[in-house]
Amino acid sequence: MEDTKYKNDIGKIDNMEYDENGDFYNYKNNQKLIVANIKHSKSKTGYVIEKTIYRCENCKGYPYKAECIKGNNCKTPKM
């Protein structure tokens, strides 16, 4: 049985459309998540981990802001 709550969560990266050429995600109301930073870290075994951090391009006045980001003053999606 599918978890409809998860599938309907607009803040989950799995529920967004990814544009490989532009390296951004499209989500509800044609908003974009763009690359904000690339973090590098190293595991205990020395493996280098690269994590791309995406942020809302412009969420000012966005009616679904509370549903898709971590906090009121934040632009980082819940992922």
Confidence of residue 1 (pLDDT cuts 50, 70, 90): very low
- How far is 29 from 41, CA to CA, in rounded Å? 34
- How far is 35 from 56, CA to CA, in rounded Å? 9
pTM over 0.85: no
List phi, psi (to 5°) of 4.
Answer: -65, -30
Dump the DSSP string for 19-37: ETTTTEEEEGGGEEEEEEE
pLDDT tens digit sequence for 16-68: 889 999 999 887 777 888 898 999 999 999 999 998 888 888 777 777 776 76
Give percent helix, percent strand, percent coil of the chain, each to the nearest 5: 20, 40, 45
